[in-house]
Structure 1
């Protein structure tokens, strides 16, 4: 894949083979971001797990102290009092059968879906549609719940979901390049702490294999796995 001149210039400022300290790496991400929009800062962590085994799955949520810099559109499947609670808490879309039909028709103008447990019989019909897009409500990610107001508030404030993919890598956003460096570092540390706590008992050997940070359009910068975990021991 051919890269542009600005990307190549940014790449030349990264020391090949070096494992950076998290603060130094995030400072470089901010410095080397060159797009005309406020790029997202991403973290990609290679784990020492085999995702093919159910007992080595890694999945969870974490509330980033400074959010992601993006306002998330929250959809809630609920009825009655819980629907009213969702509307009062600021959900962008609230409904039941009508939302199921809308999604079956190809509508996906939302970033996260939440459901009360009693709605899952109906929402289950959307598994093959929402599942591949990472939008299916799930108890493990805290999106199947009766605590609707708190969940909506946390999602709006910056709670993110993470899960290992089939290549054993976890990908998450931790903010924008416009964030102060200190806030990016605190968000990274919060994610690192959650990821370390989520280590499966069945995982053997080195758990954190590699850590890369980058902006949306920028080159990847490697962080020392030891430095990534050090602040959370």
Structure 2
């Protein structure tokens, strides 16, 4: 992959042979940002599990204390009082069967998170093949299948993020914007890592946190000392 001049210049600031302490790594990753927009800071966490096995799945959700800095659009599948509750809580789109046909027929994806009440999952299930690959399918573990739609919507708007393994056993999640500064980014990172460590499957053997890298949208990555995180 060919890199631009700015990326190559920034990459010189990173010692590839080092594992950085958390605070030091987060400070450095902000200095590596060079885009004209406020870049997102992301964490990439490689775990010592095998996601092909059901008992080694790592998935959940956590509310970052300072949010992600991104406006999140929430779609809620609900009816009656629950639909009204979702609208009052600030959901961007609320509906039932009519939304299913809109997604199926119009290829509509102008939202970031999908929430559903349990009684609507039979309807939402028809969208599994469409929403599943995009990571949008509501899931009880992530708190996106719930009768308490008010809390679900408010938590998401406040900065709740979902984390899950990809096929290579890596979790990719945003922890904020460069403009947040070191302290807020570190608090978000610590909250995320606390949740991931707590979610360690009983079937996981050996080293759980294989590697942890923080990066910005455009900049090079910085490897953190994973052994310090466990402590």
TM-score (norm 2): 0.99
Q: What residue number does 2:18 align with?
A: 18
Q: Matched residues in 2 for 1:138 and 1:56: separation?
A: 17
Q: What residue number does 1:82 align with?
A: 82
**What is the correspondence of 1:1-233 to structure 2 with a 5 Å cutoff?**
1-105=1-105, 106-230=107-231
Q: Matched residues in 2 for 1:146 and 1:165: separation?
A: 28
| Pairwise CA RMSD | 0.6
Describe the superposition over 1:116-137 as per-residue Cα deviations: whole angstroms up to 9, x where unpaired. 0000111100000000000011
TM-score (norm 1): 0.98
Secondary structure class of the residue paired with 1:178: helix
Query: How far is the alpha carbon of 1:229 from its aligned partner?
Result: 2.2
Query: How far is the alpha carbon of 1:6 from its aligned partner?
Result: 0.6
Query: How far is the alpha carbon of 1:228 from its aligned partner?
Result: 2.2
- Which residues of structure 2 form unaligned runs of 5+? none
Secondary structure class of the residue paired with 1:18: coil
**Segments of 4+ in structure 1 off by > 2 A?**
none
Q: Matched residues in 1 for 2:167 and 2:205: separation?
A: 17
Query: How far is the alpha carbon of 1:171 from its aligned partner?
Result: 0.6
Describe the superposition over 1:74-114 as per-residue Cα deviations: whole angstroms up to 9, x where unpaired. 00000000000001111000000111111102000000000
Aligned length: 230
Q: Matched residues in 2 for 1:3 and 1:75: separation?
A: 37
- Which residues of structure 1 form unaligned runs of 5+? none
Q: Matched residues in 1 for 2:2 and 2:51: separation?
A: 32
Q: Matched residues in 1 for 2:16 and 2:30: separation?
A: 18
Q: Matched residues in 1 for 2:61 and 2:108: separation?
A: 25
Query: How far is the alpha carbon of 1:195 from its aligned partner?
Result: 0.2
Query: How far is the alpha carbon of 1:28 from its aligned partner?
Result: 0.8
Query: How far is the alpha carbon of 1:226 from its aligned partner?
Result: 1.1
Q: Matched residues in 2 for 1:46 and 1:154: separation?
A: 26
